[in-house]
Structure 1
Amino acid sequence: MSDNPSILDERDLQLGRSHVTDTPELEAFYDQLAGHNAGAFWKRANAIEPWEPDSRYKPTLWRWAEMRALCLRAIALVRPEEAGRRVVTLLNDSPAGRENVAVCGWLFSGMQAMKPGEITPAHKHTASAHRFIMEGRGAYTVVDGHHITLGANDYVLTPNGCWHDHGVAPDGEVSIWQDGLDIPLMNCLEANFYAVYDQPAQTPAFPSNDLPLSYGGASVRPEGIGGWDKPYSPVMVYRWEATRDALHRLAQVSDGSPFDGHMVRYSNPLTGGWAMQTMGANMQMLRPGLHTRAHRHTGNVVYNVAGGRGYSVIGGRRFDWQEHDIFCVPAWTWHEHVNLDPENPAYLFSFNDFPVMEALGVRIEEPFAENGGHQPVTA
């Protein structure tokens, strides 16, 4: 979308679109309007109401080997007590990404590394958060008094408004995880609040892993405990082994999606919907040698390679990836995935803003109809 009203799409030269020819009298009128904090809608109508979404964000890839080294460097330079959260921010390669501190669209992401015995001081905020564990042993989080242990490729929730702190047990190992938050959205809505806890860390008020052990069973719901009335999933952490096994079972009875291979949603078991209100997450498996068809959709997606090697074509550009590389697909951008391994599956974790799109009634998807469903690679 161009902010320059002088750039005219040929489709705009029709009834129902703005194509006013300015005159000296109109120019004087525009100046008069400006003096009253007003303007002529037809001057900007075509730019702010495009024919289709035109993202300000670019497909961007972050290499795990490079980002891991930077996270470990941050450990050597900054103490978590001083930083609050020692996070290396992932900025989209675009002016919008830098301006909004965004990884893609209204999503924030970063990578956080912690040494054994360290903590991130307890706090809460309006923004919702979730995390994907990439490396380490002994990591944990405490959310509203619930202590939750974390392992590699686990997906964990930190819902908005919940007190939370993180750490690594003294006998653990350096741990690194990817954060995902809706900070840019909350700031756009001017609804962001932040508070710090009155102690460095919470004292757990429940047995360790009480929520995932209570609600994380397959297709069962616990009886005899208080009802869950919060708007997010009570599971809180989704274990990698169970997620991987679910994908393998699905592959036994389904060909999967032509666009995403075999995919599962991290869901709220009580509703079947997304685990949180503003951000969703998926894990998908690309069978050996699979080349998916291209499609595009409203909503932004951030991927983390949970295993394997391959490449994705995003907006006509090829991005090669391997384990724990991170890349993003901006809204309404064509994309397809390829597993380069002829013998082993590849796994892609991803998070998105689909719950917001669905709540607003604007989640739209479209397949690529030409060339057998595959984009021409231009770069």
Structure 2
Amino acid sequence: MTDHPATIDPRDAVLGRSRVTDTPELEAFYDDLARRNAGAFWKRANAIEPWEPETRYRPTLWRYADMRAMCLRAIDLVKPEEAGRRVVTLLNDSDAGRANVAVCGWLFSGMQAMRPGEITPAHKHTASAHRFIMEGKGAYTVVDGHPITLGANDYVLTPNGCWHDHGVTADGEVSIWQDGLDIPLMNCLETNFYAVYEQPAQTAAFPSNDLPLSYGGAGLRPEGVGAWDKPYSPVMVYRWDAVRDALWNLAKVSGGTPFDGHMMRYANPLTGGWALQTMGAHMQMLPGGFRGQAHRHTGNVVYNVAGGRGYSIIGGKRFDWQTHDIFCVPAWTWHEHVNLDLNEEAFLFSFNDFPVMEALGVRIEEPYSDHGGHQPA
């Protein structure tokens, strides 16, 4: 018997699940265990070992128009050198999201806006980070002395343990990007360290864009360059034009998947694996009029609409989206995507915790088999 009989799952009434009926003698035994900082496993076994994953997070959508306005207000209210990082945090609409400062699962996300001439002071941390540029001109980052310029819909890495600062050149424009970090995971594992650089910003130690120019050629590997020995991708930034063209080329020879249309992984070209160790990212293209089938998987995904308009049905609820709206799909939640434009593609950038799921051997996926693969909404 569980602590809450009203919530008993009928599936638990089988051999192999906890079915103990408490007695006064057992109650006294539980009290004795508690006084010794111990407990009876069968009292909570069914709750802590569910039949399938039970997410504590909710599908949540953030409108770009609303969040952009909040970021611009933050510019007027707070100086970046005082905030450290002037980020507007995206909090999942759940108690777990607010408690863990999480966008979904053990992932953090926020939006950052910077004026021309502003910088985020240089720092480093255990948490891995990556950024998706949403608008602006003149944005840049410096990662361990490597300067990288950034444009709209570019995806850039700031791997764990690397010194990094970012800003907007004096002749640029107000720039906005989405941050993604694994801060909640690092805090859960109690492994988070943070340090600030000895100067407000790094002095560039390499030519501008040296890493993407060296390693960014598809299927090409530079000779005469020192061997790359880092556990993350040397490309560092994935340019929007190249990613978009890769999707268009894929569509010429492939029908894509019934769930995600045409999809490209942001990969480490030296290994073919994920660009970062703990977070992965994709760009997918939904053809005009695309109506995807539903599926679910372990692992959490955060989406940013890189272009187009449509909707997603997540856990049976419809979420309409347009360019640069952000939404999330919690672990083991049914979801499907629809492109409302019959003649133009829609593009969805997303990041996830799939590398962690794969490293632990628990990345599992299944299709929705009822109603022709579509959820009732």
TM-score range, shorter chain: over 0.9
RMSD across aligned C-alpha pairs, in angstroms? 0.9
Identity of aligned residues (%): 83
1:218 aligned counterpart, secondary structure: coil
2:58 aligned counterpart, secondary structure: coil
Cα separation, 2, equivalents of 1:4 and 1:167: 53
Is the CA contact 2:138–2:173 (under 8 Å) kept in the aligned structure 1? yes
Q: By how many angstroms is 1:91 displaced? A: 0.2
Cα separation, 2, equivalents of 1:119 and 1:5: 56
Cα separation, 2, equivalents of 1:45 and 1:120: 47
| Cα shift readout 1:74-100 (whole Å, capped 9, x = no counterpart) | 000000010000000000000000000
Q: By how many angstroms is 1:258 displaced? A: 0.5
Is the CA contact 2:294–2:334 (under 8 Å) kept in the aligned structure 1? yes
| Cα shift readout 1:22-78 (whole Å, capped 9, x = no counterpart) | 111111111111000000100100000000001000000000000000000000000
Cα separation, 1, equivalents of 2:254 and 2:230: 33
Return closer, same or farther for 1:65/1:233 CA change in 2, 3 Å cut-off.
Answer: same
In the other structure, the counterpart of 2:139 is 139
Return closer, same or farther for 1:25/1:337 CA change in 2, 3 Å cut-off.
Answer: same
In the other structure, the counterpart of 1:214 is 214
Return closer, same or farther for 1:280/1:4 CA change in 2, 3 Å cut-off.
Answer: farther
Cα separation, 2, equivalents of 1:292 and 1:163: 41
Is the CA contact 1:235–1:268 (under 8 Å) kept in the aligned structure 2? yes
Q: By how many angstroms is 1:7 displaced? A: 2.3
Stretches of structure 1 lacking an aligned partner (at least 5 in a row): none
Amino acid of the structure 2 residue aligned with 1:288? G
Is the CA contact 2:3–2:43 (under 8 Å) kept in the aligned structure 1? no
TM-score by length of 1: 0.98
In the alignment, is residue 21 of structure 1 matched against residue 28 of structure 2?
no
Cα separation, 1, equivalents of 2:32 and 2:322: 58
Cα separation, 2, equivalents of 1:178 and 1:144: 21
TM-score by length of 2: 0.99
1:358 aligned counterpart, secondary structure: helix
| Cα shift readout 1:2-28 (whole Å, capped 9, x = no counterpart) | 985762100101100001111111111
Cα separation, 2, equivalents of 1:53 and 1:18: 18
In the other structure, the counterpart of 1:110 is 110
Is the CA contact 1:5–1:44 (under 8 Å) kept in the aligned structure 2? no
In the other structure, the counterpart of 1:355 is 355
In the other structure, the counterpart of 1:49 is 49
Mapping of residues 196-215 of structure 1, within 5 Å? 196-215=196-215
Cα separation, 2, equivalents of 1:6 and 1:159: 47
- Structure 1 runs of 4+ with >2 Å offset: 2-7
Is the CA contact 1:142–1:164 (under 8 Å) kept in the aligned structure 2? yes
Stretches of structure 2 lacking an aligned partner (at least 5 in a row): none
Cα separation, 2, equivalents of 1:50 and 1:137: 49
2:44 aligned counterpart, secondary structure: helix
In the alignment, is residue 227 of structure 1 matched against residue 206 of structure 2?
no
Mapping of residues 1-379 of structure 1, within 5 Å? 4=4, 7-377=7-377
